[in-house]
Structure 1
């Protein structure tokens, strides 16, 4: 059963926003394409409020959505962006990401160079590409 890419993207964003820390986990049913959300109160609900399957933890039927780390969209993506768009700052960015508070410092650097929009576009394209690849690897047919 095909799944709308927008639904996959939304499920990814929910899972990613919680950072895999239990705030929200999302699943896609391999057979029907329905997306299910598990919130930190351990309740599961499907967006359309259908009955929740008893076997939601069966990964042969319900695939947990990845987060940014699972798709290598963190530090590796930042370094790729810097290599391409701000190569003279690569050493500084490597140093920034060796310490706490890296993303705020990185965003400050982007702001100084007027590159925040370029970063967001780059990250959004990479996210969509990685999700499409993830769907292909897991035999999830997507439609736009």
Structure 2
């Protein structure tokens, strides 16, 4: 069953929400293409779609991956720095050898006037990675 790319992208972003201890997950039904959302661990009432009883059956449902599973964390930042901030590459690599790297990276981007370039780079890489992930899992994408 085909799934709209925008729906997969939105579900991926949902599943990768930084919820301060809350867990956000999204699943794609391989048979119908329907996407299910699940949130657990919020102080308020947990949000979830009505999940099928067999949501954990990997032959029917596949969870949307984490950004790191698709190489969209540190490796992507280093690729960006290598291409667009070569003079700062060693600093960026050092940032990401310790905790709290993203705020330092974002500050560097602001100083270099590269925030928009980073967002465009990250967005394109994310779209390519999601497309490849869908192809790997035989999820047919429509526009």
Q: Does TM-score exceed 0.5, indicating one fold?
A: yes
Q: Report the CA distance shift for 1:86/1:43 in structure 2 as closer, same or farther (over 3 A).
A: closer
- Matched with 1:100 is 99
Unaligned runs of 5+ in 1: 46-50
Partner of 2:117: 118
Deviation at 1:22, TM superposition (A): 5.1
Cα deviation per residue 1:67-116 (whole Å; 9 max; x = unaligned)?
Answer: 21111100000000011101111111111111221000001111111000
Distance of aligned partners of 1:43 and 1:103 in 2 relative to their CA distance in 1, 3 Å threshold: closer
SS at match of 1:69: helix
**Which residue matches 2:87?**
88
Q: Distance in 2 between matches of 1:92 and 1:52?
A: 45
> Could you list the runs of 5+ residues in structure 2 that have no partner in the other structure?
none
Residue aligning to 1:11: 11
Change (3 A) 1:105 1:43: closer
Counterpart CA distance in 2 for 1:18 and 1:97 is: 18
CA RMSD of aligned residues (A): 1.5
* TM-superposed deviation, 1:55: 0.7
How big is the shift at 1:38?
1.3
**CA 1:136/1:81 → structure 2, altered by over 3 Å: closer, same or farther?**
same
Cα pair distance change 1:61/1:18, threshold 3 Å: farther
Paired residue total: 138
TM-score (norm 2): 0.91
Q: 2: distance between equivalents of 1:24 and 1:72? A: 19
Q: In structure 1, the residue corresponding to 2:27 is in which secondary structure?
A: strand
Question: Which secondary structure state, in structure 2, belongs to the residue aligned with residue 83 of structure 1?
Answer: helix
Q: Which runs of 4+ in 1 moved over 4 A?
A: none
Output aligned runs, 1:72-87, within 5 Å. Answer: 72-87=71-86
